[in-house]
Chains A and B, each alone.
Chain A
Amino acid sequence: MRDEDDQLYIYQLYGISTPRKIKAEKTLRAKIGASTKITPEQIEKAQKIITHPKKDFSGYALQQLSRIEGAIHATYENTYDRESDYELIIVPLSNIKGQAGMFGNWLASHLSEIILKFLEKYKRLDNDALDILGHYCKAIHLTYELELFDTTSTGGQKIAHELQYVVKRYNERFKKKIERT
């Protein structure tokens, strides 16, 4: 008998292998008292920190962007195993998507969301997908150079439409490819 089988036998013998439910207790509620809550005034004050950020996020964003650019460059060279490269790209991408929106750069967050959804849909990195990622990186640099942070500005809308257009073209090409095969 293997060690783990032996262990399993002991667990079964004592009934430990049966999942046990531990009933939840309202310990945190008991600590803060019955009526304490986060008030709308507190939420409003906290929201101001997000809406009017004092901290500059651009350094972190550009650092994440250079990680993506480095991974794109390496992936072009790598023709046999691109699965590990996928994670190297998607993690900093999700960081920009998540955090740019917490620091007032809604446009960078929106552009990152477009690309994140695109990559999460296909979960593959062919050369066309890498080209799209290249467009994305240029677009993010542009948002910081021109200080375009708003999704509703004319410039912001133009950049977002261009990115959506290249993603749409990829989708159409992919669909045709599937139909042919």
Chain B
Amino acid sequence: MKELTVLVADDSEPMLEVMVAILNRFGFGRILTATDGEQAFSVFQRYKPDLIITDWHMDNIDGLELCRWIRRNKHSVNRSIPIILMTGFSDYARITSARDKGITEIIIKPFSAEDLAKRIMHVIDVPRDFIESLGFFGPDRRRRKIDSPVADDRRLMEPEEKS
């Protein structure tokens, strides 16, 4: 992992410190940090990380807006960089909407070190195809459930069945 640079964005300082400590244990070579989306975008442009892990809700520019900037900006240094979004939400509609905005993987907080390691290894070993069209640039949203590391995540609230 020492060859990889990861950028972590979170507006909560304690969370940022925990994430840096965890990623250090995972053996990442370089860990960059940012406390909001705007700062994260400038760090991303300058240091060209290999992977981004960002919180969804941050003051100023949030994780989804950061994702939109990276995917849609023609000056972006790597439009297809894997982006893992951290969130406390587990509502199905919210998660789906985040996927539709170009997020590669979503991890629901609180998570274990194993959950995070699985997501990271998944973006390394099963990179997603990208789709470019007029209104969208992002990972292919169609994928088999079996490909997903969250297929067994029962905390995700499926929409209620209509009787």
Contacts and interface: CB of A to CB of B under 8 A. Distances in A.
A28 B111 CA distance: 23
Interface residues of A, number: 52
A177 interface: no
Interface string B128-148: 111111101000100000000
Interface in A9-26: 11, 16-26
A36 B1 contact: yes
A45 interface: yes
Contact of B82 (A22, A28, A56, A94): A28
Contacts of B128: 24
Contacts of B86: 98
B57 A91 contact: yes
A99 B127 contact: no
Interface in B1-60: 1, 3-4, 12-15, 17-18, 21-22, 25-27, 50-51, 57
Contacts of A37: 121
Contacts of B130: 21-22, 24
A97 B88 contact: yes
B39 to A, nearest CB: 19
Nearest to B124: A28
B123 A116 contact: no
Interface stretch (A46-54, A74-82, A132-140, A154-162): A46-54
Interface residues of B, number: 50
A101 B110 contact: yes
B27 A11 contact: no
B50 A28 contact: yes
Chain A at the B interface: mostly helix, strand, loop or mixed? helix
Contacts of A57: 14
Contacts of A175: none
A70 B112 CA distance: 32
Contacts of B112: 47, 50
Contacts of B17: 55
Contacts of A11: 134
B16 to A, nearest CB: 10
Given A28-B82, A36-B1, A91-B57, A97 B109 contact: yes
B88 A38 contact: no
B124 A32 contact: yes
A25 B127 contact: yes
A2 interface: no
A50 B51 CA distance: 22
The interface centre, meaning the residue of A11, A25, A37 with most chain B CB atoms within 10 A of its CB, is: A37
Contact of B110 (A23, A38, A100, A116): A100
Interface of B: 1, 3-4, 12-15, 17-18, 21-22, 25-27, 50-51, 57, 80, 82, 86-91, 108-114, 116-117, 120-121, 123-125, 127-134, 136, 140, 157
Give the top 8 A-B pairs by smallest Cβ distance, nearest first: A101-B110, A98-B109, A98-B88, A94-B88, A46-B113, A19-B133, A24-B127, A46-B25
